[in-house]
Amino acid sequence: MNRITVNPDRSIGVINRNLYGHFSEHLGRCVYGGLYVGEDSPIPNVNGMRTDVVEALKAIRVPVLRWPGGCFADEYHWEDGIGPRESRKRMVNTNWGHVVEDNSFGTHEFLELCRQLGCAPYITANVGSGTVREMAEWVEYLNSPGDSTVVRRRWANGRREPWGVKYWGVGNESWGCGGNMRPEYYADEYRRYQTYCRDYPGTKLYRIACGPNTDDYEWTRVLMERAGKFMDGLSLHYYTTTGPTWEEKGTALSFTKSEYYEMLSKAARMEELVVRHGQIMDRFDPEKRIGLIVDEWGTWHQVEAGTNPGFLYQQNAMRDALVAAIHLNLFNRHCDRVAMANLAQTVNVLQSVVLTEGERMLLTPTWHVFDLFKAHQDARAVDCFVETDAVGEGEWHIDRLTASASEKDGVLTVTVANCSMDSAADLVLRAPHTGKVSGRILAGAPDAHNTFDASPVASAPFTDFVADPHGISLSLPPCSVLALTLT
């Protein structure tokens, strides 16, 4: 018997809605074809943004969108992407597939997309091949209400009022594709760059320093020690994959039992990373002023057969949904330090919530997890104690259940996933309620997925429980994610 005990009197903190954020890079068909088709496309759009995709993303209340990269960010020069489209500079996207980037989706288009989504923009600026002046003027272009030559260009391009963009990343993966820097060097660069990113009237910037790759704890220590007082956030990147080496990654839809548990065990590792990087941050920032910004996470499989290897297009199955549930539950539980997280990468790239093919679109199992979890946004995370057994195969084992709980406006939301590949979990949930209990569940075979012809994977109402004042008893199917709402 598994037991979950929720104690609403014990608060962990407020779940920043930005834990449910997304990331979109100029990579493959994420921006072009996925989010943006241009005004002249036969695919229904508003100012070039695909209407179906915008509606799908609004439905899960995307709170923040990171752009333009990724590795692309450190080769991106924002001035190439403003002004009349026909005269914008062309470049070759050397990071991703060597395709021509015509810069038709630039700053104004990104801010228009965020307007349509009703989300906050998060811009990653170019440190690797850019300059301090370039970043400073991008901030000025977007945020200054003054009358300068830079701002007059904004006016000339059709935007009178500043946008007031708050979230700024100073480089991306500066330890790798963003310049192969040492932490000491990057810490100094960060200090210099952030100095000239001004807080214009009405917008106090939230400055995010490039943080570690996976378990590079030394990077975190050096950054916190040397630059902590100049930052609001420190990023962390960690992808979940299977296989003995990066080159031998598994695929999205075809995997063994061992690979199923390998994937989930590796997803659960995110908790260790959040805790250990958080402990280092605590030494320098015990008040937890600086947010840990997990601005790239998700599954990374082999690309789908027959697709451009540089486009990172992969399908998405129930196993990916479990990976998402593991991450979102642990982000909720650590919301006292984790201030933002961005799934990579929204549409058609890596662990997407939406896939498109021409005019067709599908919602992935991961989209449904974000839908089930959306009530957690801005809620108060409360203590959620899980007693469960382990499930696994060979060397890969994981807790059978992952869960988190939050309270908002007197409503308790509990999200639970049964990570077992093949066995149901009998569960007693102890949580206060007045008898009004409802649920939705996402369940299916580990490789179940949606295609452009059929969408068998979708959440459904869950009524198969017995609720009495002592608890709620239920049986959770294998490979499933449940959201319960208790009043």
Task: Write out the residues near ligand AHR by the rule CB under 6 A.
Answer: 25, 69-71, 172-173, 296, 344-345, 350
Nearer to ligand AHR, 293 or 481 (CB): 293
To ligand AHR, the closest distance from the beta carbon of 410 in angstroms equals 39
Nearer to ligand AHR, 71 or 384 (CB): 71
CA-nearest of 420, 133, 112, 399 to 260 is 420
To ligand AHR, the closest distance from the beta carbon of 124 in angstroms equals 9
CA-nearest of 55, 11, 16, 5 to 35 is 55
To ligand AHR, the closest distance from the beta carbon of 293 in angstroms equals 13
What is the spatial distance between Cα 223 and Cα 235, in angstroms, rounded to a whole number?
11
387 catalytic? Reply is no
Region of residue 99 (left: phi > 0; alpha: psi -120 to 50; beta: else): beta
Only one residue has tokens 């810490």, namely 187
What is the spatial distance between Cα 261 and Cα 184, in angstroms, rounded to a whole number?
38
Nearer to ligand AHR, 48 or 169 (CB): 169
Only one residue has tokens 């100095």, namely 195
Nearer to ligand AHR, 69 or 228 (CB): 69
Contacts (Cβ under 8 Å, ≥6 apart) of 469: none
Half-sphere exposure in the Cβ direction for 233 (13 Å, CA): 25
Nearer to ligand AHR, 172 or 242 (CB): 172
Encoded tokens for 201: 């009237």
Nearer to ligand AHR, 370 or 396 (CB): 370
21-23/64-67 β-pairing: parallel
Residue nearest to ligand AHR (CB): 70
The catalytic residue among 101, 259, 262, 296 is 296
The catalytic residue among 173, 189, 259, 407 is 173
To ligand AHR, the closest distance from the beta carbon of 70 in angstroms equals 3
Nearer to ligand AHR, 159 or 266 (CB): 266
Determine contact, residues 227/263, Cβ cutoff 8 Å. Answer: no
To ligand AHR, the closest distance from the beta carbon of 349 in angstroms equals 7
272 catalytic? Reply is no
To ligand AHR, the closest distance from the beta carbon of 69 in angstroms equals 5
Nearer to ligand AHR, 159 or 327 (CB): 327
To ligand AHR, the closest distance from the beta carbon of 206 in angstroms equals 19
To ligand AHR, the closest distance from the beta carbon of 81 in angstroms equals 17
Residues catalogued as catalytic: 173, 296
